[in-house]
Structures are given as C-alpha cells and as structure tokens.
Structure 1
C-alpha cells in the first residue's frame, strides 16, 4: 500500500518516472513510511484483526501523512479451499498544503497507472488469465487494463504441479460510490512480464487531499485453490458481508 507519485515524491521506492526521460535514479524524491506501532490485535477462533499506524515521510525528514492501516484474515473455508484478506487505509494529510496523488500515467507514461494497494505475484502466475464480472475467463490482462468494476480475478496453472490457483480482488461498496470515495478507481493489471494487480486510485488523473483532511478505502482479496470461473467468484463474494 503506497503511492508512486505524491506531490513530487515517490513512496513506492526504486527509480522515479520522469516524462521524456524514463525511469531515473533520483534518491532525493524517494520518501519512506515509518511504522509507529500496532494499536490493536484481536484474535478469535474465526478471524484475526490487526491495526497498524504509520507516518509517511518525505525525503529530508518532513512528515506528510498519517496512516491507519487495517488487516483482517477471516473466512478460512476448507470446503471451498479459500481464505480472505481484508485491507483498509485511512490517510490524513498533516502538511500545510494539499497532497497531490498521481501515477506514472498522470506523469505521461501510457497505461502505467499503478499506485495504491498492489499485489505482485510469484513467477508461476506469469501469463495467467484475468476476468471481471463483465468478461469471460482468461480474456487477458490487456483487455481489462484501466477498466472499472467491483472485482477482478486472476487465475493460473502452476508449472510443476497439476494444480491451479485463483485470486479475487474486490472493492468495498463505498469505494465505487462517487458521493463517498475521494476519487475514481481503475484496475491496473498485467500478467506479463510480471503478474500484478493494483486498485489504482489515481490511474488517469491526479486527486488532491487538502491539509487536515482524510480519505479511506477498503479492499478484499480472496485466495483460493483451483481455477475459479466468473460465477463461482461472484457467488463467493456475495456470501462475504462487508
């Protein structure tokens, strides 16, 4: 969970995209996140809930944002061969000026809108199939890159065992509500050369977070055995209340 382009800083790490020049090593633009502590850890027989507080720090040491991050592991379903990870963020601007959230695409690189919560898959997910509620299984990542929707699934056949896996990435309802979400979200997804999926919150356009203001998103990832199809993924999500 991070931001690749934030008011001129790169909290993603690594090289920085500069329009017309490509990716450059610019350490003076690379920010960091400080773990401030775990404020809650609740474990029951059926789920684990964890709350972490972090501070986003620009290069040079100025504190820019406070984050409250929530993770929950639940619905371990042996019959379905699946378990669920929920991930939430509440981010507050503690600067005296707006924070501008963007992506490589907002800086000029086409279809490179990665930012926000992103999964990077292992090697044997390379070339896997991608589908949404409105597409057929295995249509290919390029067909849904930059699209919008409540969920997206990624399936693969493992090379070395006769087995498949499916990951289903889902938005909480309020993420897609224009009256509550700070900005529209789009899918950033590739199956090659690196399998990856992001809930991109600033794919095509920047958005601003004013001083003292906050925004929040909630996400869900279902990790499942087998090659699920659209109907199975949809039914499983419908049975998981938010």
Structure 2
C-alpha cells in the first residue's frame, strides 16, 4: 500500500499496478481514478497516461463521453453536425472511500459530478490474481447507479452522429510501440475485423506482451468491443453502441471485464485458455 491517494496492487508479492485515486489534472481531461502503470509479471509496462496523441487517456479505468450531455471521457466533445468541439462540459469522478483495500484488490465508492450536480454513484471492485508464472488477471467490475430523480442516458460519439466511435465504459489505454499491436479474437483478426464486434474475448499483442480482455457477465458480453491499434493501442467496451443506454432513477448498470496480462506474444489457443481460466469462478 502507499498513501491515501494511491495504492499498489501485487501478485505473489510482485507489484503489477498502481491505482491513483485523486489525480491532479485539468478539468478538460475529465479527472478520474485510474490504474497506471500496469505491468506484466516481468515488469513490462502495458498502460500509458496522458500520451501525446490523446492527453485524456488515463491508463485503465471507466470513461464515458456523454452522460446526459456531460463529458466524463475528456478532451473534445463530438457534437452532431459540428464534429469534435471544445466545450466546457467535463465531469469528474470523485473518489469517496475504500470499502476494502488490500494488496490484491479493493472496493471503492465514487461520485460522478458535473456542473455541481452528482449524477451517478459508482461502486468499483478490482481484484488481481496470478494465473501462471508469466500471466496474471485484473478483474474489474463497475456499477453505476442513477441517484437523480430523473432518467439519465449514456451516449457516445456514435449515438451522436459519428459512425464507428462507440467508445465509453471500461477503457484500457495500452503501451504505444514502434509497431502497432496485433488484434484478434477466436475467429477474427485485425482492427477492421474486430472493432465493433461481440466476442467472448479479445487479444491485443505487443512486442513482448499480450492483453486478453474477456466479458465476464451476460450484459458485458452483449457490449461490442471498441478497438484501436493503428492510430494508438486501446481497447474498451461500448455501453452505447447503436443507441443511448437509459438508466432509470435508482437504476444501476453493471459491467465486469477480466483482463489477462501476459508476458510474451500469446497464440490464439493460449489466449483462449487463459481467458477461460481468468473468468472461471
């Protein structure tokens, strides 16, 4: 453990991730708790924070570009018929408290606040576990509850008129290297084929590391994957792919993604086996 503002997650005594609860960032980056750096067991970093290409990408966390018109993703907001636009519409995720805090995981309460008003309350549960001598798993669950008296809806640039940009939800900004990472699922390969599809698992393989993302609940598996490889390496879920996601007053949206973090480049069979092992209770 570290200070009250961050903690270190460990697998078999090895540090594999640092969680920052109160990042000091400008408002336009939509400040939010996040994991960075996340590393393989051999110590290879597999996340980035505020890279030159997208300063609002913050390691591993939950980011949503449109919650009832408020930007919890950071950067410019996509406006229908105008395109990406600089607006003063950014929200912030505020760490409230840890309900549990151990070297192998935590349970955290957060408040999603915009324009002086709390819109969502989140419970975030994160756990790490070893899988093999060269791979471990990050189990990440978030529950978003509408605490307002009115219905809320979650959108994306895609639902606001930008095809192919249905990002919003769990998001992992991976390490950028000289060559773009490989992307594959059980039956598809390449960014063009994998982006926007539904698959039980998806792998992103860099020079000496592989990340395997697996939806661990029925609702999570229904969300299409958002994938970038050529422009930058990033993988996330799409809470609002084809239409806005409505959240009634008192209603809760729950998603769980388990990510295998492995040294080396995994084959399709190896990725499938580790994904299966990671999500098995």
- Normalising by structure 2, report the TM-score: 0.75
Identify the residue that residue 106 of structure 2 maps to in structure 1.
50
What displacement does 1:91 show?
A: 1.1
Aligned residue runs from structure 1 range 90-239, under 5 A:
90-124=143-177, 126-135=179-188, 139-157=189-207, 164-176=208-220, 184-239=222-277
Where structure 1 has 5 or more consecutive residues not aligned to the other structure, the ranges are 158-163, 178-183
Give 1:88 shift. Answer: 0.4
Q: How far apart are the structure 2 equivalents of 1:167 and 1:92?
A: 29
CA contact (8 A) 1:106 1:206 kept: yes
After superposition, the CA RMSD in angstroms is: 1.5
The structural deviation recorded for 1:9 is 0.8
- Name the structure, 1 or 2, with higher relative contact order (CA <8 Å, separation 6+): 1
Question: Which residue does 2:57 correspond to in 1?
Answer: none
CA distance in 1, matches of 2:117, 2:267: 47
Cα separation, 2, equivalents of 1:96 and 1:125: 49
Contact 2:145–2:251 (8 Å) recurs in 1: yes
Is the 1:98–1:210 Cα contact (8 Å) retained in structure 2?
yes
Could you say if the C-alpha distance between residues 126 and 107 of structure 1 is closer, same or farther in structure 2, counting changes exceeding 3 Å?
Answer: farther
What is the match of residue 116 of structure 2?
61
Distance 2:220 2:75 in 1: 30
Contact 2:180 2:233 in 1 (8 A): yes
Following superposition, the deviation at residue 36 of structure 1 comes to 0.3
C-alpha deviation, 1:173, in angstroms? 3.2
TM normalised by structure 1 equals 0.86
C-alpha contact 2:120 2:147 (8 A) present in aligned 1? yes
SS in 1 for 2:270: helix
Q: 1:76: how far off? A: 5.0
Equivalent-residue separation in structure 2 for 1:221 and 1:236 (angstroms): 10
Aligned length: 219
1:112-171 superposed Cα distances (whole Å, 9 cap, x missing partner): 111001111122175111111122xxx3111111100111001122xxxxxx21100000
Q: Of the candidates 6, 12, 16, which is equivalent to residue 77 of structure 2?
A: 16
**Is the contact made by 1:125 and 1:156 (CA closer than 8 Å) also made in structure 2?**
no
Is residue 106–residue 113 contact of structure 1 (8 Å, CA) maintained in 2? yes
Q: Take 2:236 and 2:178, find their aligned partners in 1: how far apart are those partners?
A: 15
Structure 2 unaligned segments of length 5 or more: list them.
Answer: 1-61
Per-residue deviation, 1:56: 0.5
